[in-house]
Structure formats: structure tokens, C-alpha cells
Amino acid sequence: MLGKTAGGLYWMFRYLERSENTARLVEAGQRIALTRSSSAEDEWLSILQTAAVDVGYMEKYEEVTKEQAIDWMLRDKDNPSSVLSVVGAARDNARLVRTALTREVWESVNQCWMVLKEALARKVSERDLPEVLSLIRQRAAFVRGAMHGTMLRNDIYDFARIGTFIERADNTARILDTKYYVLLPSAFSVGSAVDNVQWESILRSVSAEGGFRMVYGQDVKPREIAQFLILDKRMPRSLAFCCDKIRDNLGYLVADYADRLPCHDMADQLGLNYMSHTVDEIFDHGLHEFIQDFLTATGSLGRQIEIDYRFTV
């Protein structure tokens, strides 16, 4: 396979994953805005930070408002991580790697782009927001479905999956990074209404409310949220789940190409360093430091994969 093709697949699926994650973040933000009257602006700022699009936003706008934040995240072409931008980038990458995709996958990406370009052609009104957000997630799900159902399990699939899980790990870690303070054990905040809203928002932004309830019941506790999002291997957006998938898919490449490269050691190390602790140990070590280190490590791993598999010259 061409190095360029491996890179195209990796980025195509990173971008698709990002479109879906951004839609989730906006949904969580909207939810908080609707259930809480004060300091909604702080909430949107934290959401912009989580999506790592706050710097660009502040260059364009003076203040943080809900309307502007939503517009920036969903459809602003100046924002390279807006849903419209990343869906366009995903499709461009799909065109680049068209020969590696089945017709079904290509058509689902192309349709995703056509439908969302239309849905995001104008500012999204508050009334239409839920429908548009669900459309974004639905379209990403169609691509994933087409991929699972029609693609060979070979190196093409591996690179697509690696891109998906690097992006997802990054996204979940960023949510934890911006919200870590509401998860810290504190005598004063236990069970306050404000915290409950924040905790639910965290779960909502990774579509984990239902899964969490199944495992832990109705009561939401910050320690358990951290446990669930960082270490629970059953939870498909947890850091541990993503780390396993990255390592698995890199492992298939080792078997396929009969060649072990530096990125494979890094992936093993990622699991050892971050996923072999208990949640209490993580809190003792410092949740914030833990997440920051994890983000740096996944970033380096992503860059090493690009080098080892010759994505670019």
C-alpha cells in the first residue's frame, strides 16, 4: 500500500470521528445551557477548549456566546475543525484513497458530505439544532456501518481503525482535561446540583449516560466517572478501550508486514504507563497531570506512526 494511502485512510477516519465528537460536545453544551441559567458563557468556553478550537474562536470573536460558539464549531470554514470543515477533509481524503475503499464506504462518505453540506449551508437555528446534531452522528454511523460490513480486514482496515482510535482517545482525554476539576474529590461539592449537571454533561459528551447507568446505577459519582472513562475496557470511548484498539491494530500490521517498528513499542508503553493503574492511584498521582501526559503520549504515538509507515516524504 502507498504510504500516502495509509495516511489518507488514517486522516479520513480521524476527521470522521472528530465530526461526531464535535456534535456530541455541542449537544452536551446545549444541554447545560438549557438546564442552567448562570455562567453559560463559561460553559461554552470550556467546550471550545475541549474541542481545541478556542484560540481560533477568540481571534474571530470578542466574546463567547452560545450562537457564535455553535456556529464556529459546526459550520465555520475558518475553523479547520468545524464539522463542515472536517467532513470536507474526510471526503477529500476518501477521494485520495478511493481505490482502497469499497463502493459502499466511498458512497457513504460522499453522501455524508453532500447531506451535511446542505444541512450546514445556513446558520442552524435553535429549533433545528437537535435534528442537525443527530444527522451528523447518524452520517458518521453510516460510514462506520459500511466499513464494518464491506471492508477486508487487512492493512487498509488497520490504518482506518488506528486513525479512529487515536482521535477518539484524544477526544475523551480532552473532555477529562477540561473538566478534571469537577471530578476531584472535594468535601464541599459532593452531590451539589451544579456538580450533578457537570457530571452528566461529561457522560453525555461521550454518549455514556446509558452505559454508566447499567454499570453503576442511578447515582453519579466522580470517581466512578473517571474509572468508567479512563479504565473501563467495555466502554468504547474510554482511554483503555482506545489504547487496546490502537495496540491491536498496530499488532495486525506487525503480523501482516512481518516488521516491528518504533511505534509498536510506543503503543505497548502507552498501555503500560497509563492503563495499568487503579483509579485511586491516578487520583493520587494527580488526574490533571495524568491526562496531560496521556495527551502528549498519544500525540507522539500518532507522529511516530506517520513516520514509520511513510505517510509523507
HSE-up (13 A, CA, CB side) for residue 272: 6
304 binds other proteins (CB under 8 A): no
Question: Any contact of residue 1 with other proteins (CB under 8 A)?
Answer: yes
Distance CA 218, CA 220 (A): 6
Using CB under 8 A, pick the residue from 4, 221, 260, 277 that binds other proteins.
Answer: 4
User: Binding to other proteins (CB under 8 A): which residues in 51-110?
Assistant: 92, 95-96, 98-99, 103, 106-107, 110
State the minimum distance, in angstroms, from the CB of residue 83 to other proteins.
20
Q: Is 310 one of the binding residues for other proteins (CB under 8 A)? A: yes
157 CB burial (10 A radius; 0-12, 13-18, 19+): middle
CB of 306 to other proteins, least distance (A): 11
Q: Yes or no: say if 154 and 256 are a contact pair by the CB < 8 Å rule.
A: yes
Nearer to other proteins, 54 or 155 (CB): 155
Half-sphere exposure of 308 (CA within 13 A, CB side): 20
Q: Name the one range near other proteins by CB under 8 A: 2-10, 45-53, 175-183, 211-219.
A: 2-10
Q: Establish if 313 lies at the interface with other proteins (CB under 8 A).
A: yes
Amino acid letter for position 273: N
Cα 105-258-241 angle, rounded to 5 deg: 55
Asked if residue 289 binds other proteins (CB under 8 A), the reply is no
* 292 residue type, one letter: Q
Select from 194, 193, 200, 238 the least CA-distant residue to 220.
Answer: 200
Among the listed residues 2, 34, 190, 255, the single contact to other proteins using CB under 8 A: 2
- H-helix or E-strand containing 36? none
CB-wise, 34 or 121, nearer to other proteins? 121
User: Residue 89 CB, nearest distance to other proteins (Å)?
Assistant: 12
Would you give the distance in Å from CA 140 to the centre of its chain?
12
Residue 193 or 313: the one with the smaller Cβ distance to other proteins is 313
Helix (H, G, I), strand (E, B) or coil at 98: helix
CA distance 227 to 196: 17
Q: What's the closest the beta carbon of residue 248 comes to other proteins, in angstroms?
A: 18
Which of 78, 128, 259, 280 is in the footprint of other proteins by CB under 8 A?
259
Cβ at position 141, least distance to other proteins in Å = 18
Q: Say how far apart CA 104 and CA 117 lie, in whole Å.
A: 20
Q: Which of residues 106-165 bind other proteins (CB under 8 A)?
A: 106-107, 110-111, 114, 155
Interacting residue ranges for other proteins, rule: CB under 8 A: 1-6, 92, 95-96, 98-99, 103, 106-107, 110-111, 114, 155, 257, 259, 309-310, 313
